[in-house]
Amino acid sequence: MRHAKTLSAGAGLVAALLISLSGCVSGPQQNQSAGNNGGGAKTGPVKIGFSMDTLKEERWQRDKQLVEQHAKEVGAILDVQVANGDDAVQTKQADNMLTQGVDVLIVAPHNGEIAASIVEAAHRQGVPVISYDRLIKNADVDLYVSHQVEKIGEMQARYALDHVPHGNYVLIGGAPTDNNALLLRKGQENILKPAAERGDIKIVANPFAKDWKMEEALRYMEDALTANNNKIDAVVASNDGTAVGAISALERAQLAGKVLVTGQDAQLDACQKIVEGTLTMTIYKPIKPLAYSAVDAALKLAHKEPVNAPDKINNGKIDVPAILQEPQAVDKNNMVNTVIKDGYHTLEEVYAHVPKDQWPKATASNGRKAEVSPFIAAFSLLLAAFSWVR
């Protein structure tokens, strides 16, 4: 008996140690007695508020759909609000969700600095906040779920440098108000700066596109082409939207397909451009593990249970416990074995504009869509067309 007790005490100690070593988080410490989440353990279904910046890029439609799907699976009540790039709207929507008594907030911020006030307001009510995909800066964020963003920047730059070791480079960043845009640039520079210092490459332009706008990327690319007599060898665009903008400028200069262009998100139009040859690579970030990890963690935080967060990231105020998923570089050589194999897009969708006799041999899982319904693809095409016309 005594032996058993010693054993279980020992196991408890080991578990506690493992939990503290692996980085566990269990919600805000302050003002736990206030608001909906205060007091004792949560009973009944958990209410989750999901505050999103935008649905502009295809990926965010996936995020929304998968968060909704998993919330349903685990029996949580979910309210999703989309701010369409407006900080005042996002703050107000989050405030409303707090007033309506959500137990936990998941926030994909438009502006990482301004969203700190959302965390403060939530914490005043004892409501934990998960920073989703984009980091909220200078606030006591309870958890960050994302991909390894700096590594994505490194992967884009390394791919470019491996394929174009010499020449003129244009770097097109994303929204400077989005911490991801800054992390991506940091990763890109980790790889490209030494090459520039060696004199192998020359970075001739490195603008950031406000709100990740495709049309801004197009304009910056046109400027860079003009300033360098069309002598551009590689474009490190931070996401697929900005890459597509850059490709439009290259098309006008009859250079599309001749200049290496990187992207990120593996959205459908980007994957199509890869197999058609105008985009060179993208970064595939499976959304399902991200969305599911956010919902699972939200439930745990609402129940004041520990969340296992193996990573951490400093947000200017604290080291935020983090769960970061692995990104994957995709080009035309591994499109079938990554994006298509996973069912992220079907073979038919990706190769829609390629003559059928040039399609790769079908694989067992081709044609299966795991993550998203076809209307999302259609909706994003419509949105892209709409933002283009605007």
Query: To which H or E segment does residue 5 belong?
Result: helix 2-22
Interacting residues with ligand BGC between 208 and 227 (CB under 6 A): 212
- DSSP code string of 42-108: --SSPEEEEEES---SHHHHHHHHHHHHHHHHTT-EEEEEE-TT-HHHHHHHHHHHHHTT-SEEEEE
C-beta of 168 vs 282, nearer to ligand BGC: 282
Residue 218: what residue type?
A: L
Closest distance to ligand BGC from the beta carbon of 285 (Å): 6
Closest distance to ligand BGC from the beta carbon of 346 (Å): 21
C-beta of 46 vs 294, nearer to ligand BGC: 294
Task: For residues 257 and 247, give the distance between their C-alpha atoms in angstroms, rounded to a whole number.
Answer: 9
Residue 23's region, left for phi above 0, alpha for psi from -120 to 50, else beta, is: left
Stretch that binds ligand BGC, among 5-13, 52-60, 226-234, 337-345 (CB under 6 A): 52-60
- DSSP code string of 343-381: TSS-HHHHTTTS-GGGSPPP-TTTT--SS--HHHHHHHH
Stretch that binds ligand BGC, among 51-59, 70-78, 136-144, 343-351 (CB under 6 A): 51-59
- Examine residue 180 and tell whether it contacts ligand BGC (CB under 6 A): yes
Residues in CB range of 179: below 8 A, 6 or more apart: 112, 134, 135, 137, 315
- Examine residue 57 and tell whether it contacts ligand BGC (CB under 6 A): yes
Among 70, 110, 134, 345, the residue binding ligand BGC under the rule CB under 6 A is 134
Total number of residues shown for the chain: 390
- Examine residue 133 and tell whether it contacts ligand BGC (CB under 6 A): yes
- Examine residue 137 and tell whether it contacts ligand BGC (CB under 6 A): no
Among 178, 189, 216, 342, the residue binding ligand BGC under the rule CB under 6 A is 178
- Examine residue 103 and tell whether it contacts ligand BGC (CB under 6 A): no
Q: How many CB atoms lie within 10 A of CB 119?
A: 27
Angle at 150 between CA 149 and CA 153, to 5 degrees: 95
Query: To which H or E segment does residue 20 belong?
Result: helix 2-22
Among 37, 93, 239, 280, the residue binding ligand BGC under the rule CB under 6 A is 239
- Examine residue 50 and tell whether it contacts ligand BGC (CB under 6 A): no
- Examine residue 59 and tell whether it contacts ligand BGC (CB under 6 A): yes
CA dihedral 249, 251, 254, 258 (to 10 degrees): 100
C-beta of 34 vs 383, nearer to ligand BGC: 383
- Examine residue 174 and tell whether it contacts ligand BGC (CB under 6 A): yes
C-beta of 127 vs 377, nearer to ligand BGC: 377
Stretch that binds ligand BGC, among 135-143, 173-181, 268-276, 352-360 (CB under 6 A): 173-181
| Binding stretches for ligand BGC (CB under 6 A) | 54, 57, 59, 133-134, 174, 178, 180, 212, 239, 265
